Amino acid sequence: MSPNHNAAPRRPIDHGWSKRRGPRVGSISVLIAALACCSSTSARGQEETPQDKGLRIAQESRDRNEGFGDFTAGLTMLLRDRHGRESVRQMRFKVLEVSGDGDKSLFVFDQPRDVRGTALLTHGHANTRDDQWLYLPALKRVKRINASTRSGSFMGSEFSYEDMSPPEVEESTYKYLRDEPCGDLTCTVIEQVPLDEKSGYSRKVVWQDTGELRTWKMELYDRKDSHLKTLTFADYRLYLDQYWRAQEQTMANHLTGASTVLKWTDFQFRTNLDDSEFTQTALRRVR
């Protein structure tokens, strides 16, 4: 077995606008190298359209995140209703990078007892709709998440099944809107429009800092173009001198007043995960 390359996290960063800032998501995710992008931009000069610039930044963000191989992490999910009442769930997460396609990921619930063993498996795809399966241990069966239910709540949280899929550049169109201050950083604001007509969102507006291209905020608009939810990110840490991961994500639902916080811990990179761990058969063996 090759040595474990788990580097200690470096430089906690929190430049959020909110009280607390919260992959893929994921995100987690291959067309144009950053150097090629920059050279191409210089050649075009002012000819670069807002759409071209938005796509270029999205591609560069993806390129910077490539090559991690796999990683595992622990999660605490904090659900808070509009009255401030809270409930807590403990989870495990692992993801496998897939060359030439979307990544494969697995969430497993450990606590409380009534959801222990429940697991969500996602096979991301670059050019087709992602595949998702939910394992329900009480029923001892695997349920496929179809296109019409991907916008539904993931286990009672403010995250949808769609939100739990690793993002892929090819899934959206992009438009650069502006640069603006975000805390003590400068952020690029980009509008993303999902290509999937079954998406629960008509568009997303994303704030990424111009230096490291870390996502700090994402506004999510429903199919009627109402501002439905806001996802914020906090406490970024650097792993393996390349990969930034937020230790906290908060999804606030502006319609219901409820929110869900995901707190990530114990990131372990390049742990030699195998493709066989991300199958429907493996779901039934989750412990």
Q: Is the dihedral of CA 41, 43, 49, 52 positive or negative?
A: negative
CA dist 3 and 16 (Å) reads: 36
Count of CA atoms in the C-beta half-sphere (13 A) of 81: 5
Split at pLDDT 50, 70, 90, the class of 167 is confident
Contact status, residue 205 vs residue 191, Cβ threshold 8 Å: yes
Higher pLDDT, 72 or 102: 72
Residues 159-172, mean pLDDT to the nearest whole number: 93
Residues 17-38, mean pLDDT to the nearest whole number: 36
Split at pLDDT 50, 70, 90, the class of 36 is very low
Is 89 part of any domain? yes
- State whether residue 29 is helix, strand or coil: coil
Res 286: pLDDT: 84
CA-to-CA separations, 214 to 9, 61, 121, 132, in angstroms, rounded: 16, 8, 25, 26
CA dist 130 and 121 (Å) reads: 10
Res 100: pLDDT: 82
Higher pLDDT, 83 or 168: 83
Is 110 part of any domain? yes
Is 4 part of any domain? no
Res 126: pLDDT: 84
Contact status, residue 119 vs residue 141, Cβ threshold 8 Å: no
Lowest mean pLDDT segment, chosen from 124-128, 159-163, 240-244: 124-128
| Matching residue, tokens 């980009």 | 190
CA dist 40 and 269 (Å) reads: 33
Domain that holds residue 224: 10-283
CA dist 26 and 242 (Å) reads: 16
Split at pLDDT 50, 70, 90, the class of 45 is low
Is 246 part of any domain? yes
Sequential DSSP letters for 218-271: EEEE-TT--EEEEEEEEEEEEETTTEEEEEEEEEEETTT--EEEEEEEEEEE--
Token digits for 109?
Answer: 């619930």
Residue 9 preceded by cis peptide, ω within 30: no
Res 33: pLDDT: 35
Lowest mean pLDDT segment, chosen from 37-51, 129-143, 264-278: 37-51
Is 1 part of any domain? no
Is 134 part of any domain? yes
pLDDT higher than 50, residue 4: no
pLDDT higher than 60, residue 8: no
The total domain count for the chain is 1
Whichever domain contains 119, its CATH number is 2.50.20.10
**pLDDT tens digits, one per residue of 234-260:** 999 999 999 999 999 999 999 999 999
Higher pLDDT, 2 or 174: 174
Is 194 part of any domain? yes
**pLDDT tens digits, one per residue of 207-244:** 999 999 999 999 999 999 999 999 999 999 999 999 99
The answer, as to whether pTM is greater than 0.95, is no
What single-letter DSSP state applies at residue 23? Answer: -
Lowest mean pLDDT segment, chosen from 4-8, 49-53, 122-126: 4-8
pLDDT higher than 90, residue 101: no
Residues 30-35, mean pLDDT to the nearest whole number: 32
Res 127: pLDDT: 84
Residue 83 backbone class (left: φ over 0; alpha: ψ -120 to 50; beta: rest) = alpha
| Matching residue, tokens 């870390």 | 214
Residues 116-124, mean pLDDT to the nearest whole number: 96
Is 18 part of any domain? yes
pLDDT higher than 60, residue 168: yes
